[in-house]
Amino acid sequence: MKLWRWLALAALPILLIGGLFFAVIASDDDEDQPASAITADAMNLSAEVYKHKLTVEKYCKEFGIPDQVMVILAIMQVESGGKGGDVMQASESLGLPVNTLDTEASIKQGVKYFASLLKSMKAAGVDLNTAIQSYNYGGGFIDYVAKHGKKYTLELATAFAKEKSGGKKVTYINAVAKDGWRYAYGNMYYVSVISQYLVTGGAKFDDKTVQAIMDEALKDQGTRYVFGGSTPTTGFDCSGLTSWCYSKAGIKLPRTAQAQYDATAHLNIKAAKPGDLVFFHSTSDTADYVTHVGIYVGGMKMYNAGDPLGYADLNSSYWQAHLIGAGRVKK
């Protein structure tokens, strides 16, 4: 967001949501929505970000984008981690010095600009990833993509940054930047960075049993991990969450991760389907081999009682190092 001071702000729909090839545009007319619009949910968000969820919901509703709550939270995670006052880094969008706005004013301003950015995106006929990258680059990127095929690509984001920076490069250390650099204008990897905190499809499943499990699980998304917890009142640990949620779908599971592993048919993770369990070893110091369990939701993602409760990417180095495999409840 540091580029806003250089942009003609009055002409920009301003940077508001980065990373969203996972969002849904709120609209009264479904035909106005681009074909690529799909729902999103958040994963790997910190407790500091989740504590702002109610405020984000309030302003998303006020500005007509109630479906964008989780996307806004993902942006907040990237911009500030939910810490400090200007959590959306929105001060510069008003021509103010960096970090001028307080927390609520920052969220309000961020959501307002995101709604404006989505409208500009639709008017130009470009895709959602373009709008996401424009949160970091400014509205000029929407016009740029509109003239170059109307669809975001990393190549276009890179070319735009190269042009604006005059070819100047800076060091950039992030898993998405394999070469360890970016051009010195915004962040050409912004879409990829935001996407690390979103899971496509939201919690929508064809199977009614899986849907019932996830409907229950999502009631406590963002709450803290509680060792030994097994109800919404006490809070949840990993196996407490799975046993509670599956019970609401009529499935009785044993209480511990090891016992749940022993009670399921074991599968390679590549064969896992939404609703299966995912098991891990050596995540804590216990006598059991199996020390953690989550709910597989598809696309190498799981929902689990981390800290806080929420989605996690099974491709991450941490989970890969501890992964045992999947387990399917025996019928």
Over residues 163-187, the pLDDT tens digits come to 999 999 999 998 788 889 999 999 9
- Reported as a pLDDT band with limits 50, 70 and 90, residue 7 is very low
Architecture category of domain 2-199 in CATH: Orthogonal Bundle (1.10)
Burial call 15-52: b when 16+ CB within 10 Å, e when fewer = bbbbbbbbbbbbbeeeeeebeebbbbbbbbbbebbbeb
What integer pLDDT is reported at residue 40 of this predicted model?
58
Whether the CB-CB separation of 171 and 180 falls below 8 Å is answered with yes
pLDDT tens per residue across span 38-87: 345 666 788 789 899 999 999 999 999 998 888 889 889 999 999 999 99
- Reported as a pLDDT band with limits 50, 70 and 90, residue 204 is low
What integer pLDDT is reported at residue 216 of this predicted model?
93
What integer pLDDT is reported at residue 83 of this predicted model?
94
Q: Which of 18-22, 41-45, 323-327 has the lowest mean pLDDT?
A: 18-22
Whether the CB-CB separation of 98 and 122 falls below 8 Å is answered with no
| Dihedrals phi, psi of 292, to nearest 5 degrees | -155, 150
- Reported as a pLDDT band with limits 50, 70 and 90, residue 33 is very low
Mean pLDDT of all residues in 116-142: 91
Q: Which residue, among 158, 162, 165, 167, has the nearest Cα to 190 in the 3D structure?
A: 158
Helix, strand or coil, per DSSP, at residue 10: helix
What integer pLDDT is reported at residue 314 of this predicted model?
92
The neighbouring-strand residues paired with 207 are none
Q: Which residues are catalytic?
A: 238, 292, 304
What integer pLDDT is reported at residue 135 of this predicted model?
85
286: CB partners within 8 A, 6+ apart: none
What integer pLDDT is reported at residue 235 of this predicted model?
95
CA pair distance 80, 188, nearest whole angstrom: 18
Mean pLDDT of all residues in 103-128: 93
* pTM of this structure: 0.62
CA pair distance 322, 48, nearest whole angstrom: 26
| Cis peptide bond upstream of 66, omega within 30 | no
> Is 13's pLDDT higher than 90?
no
| Domains of the chain, residue spans | 2-199, 205-329
What integer pLDDT is reported at residue 47 of this predicted model?
79
Q: Which of 54-63, 138-147, 216-225, 258-267 has the lowest mean pLDDT?
A: 216-225
Give 15 or 200, the one with higher predicted confidence.
200
Mean pLDDT of all residues in 142-154: 96
Q: Which fold has domain 205-329?
A: endopeptidase fold (from Nostoc punctiforme) (3.90.1720)
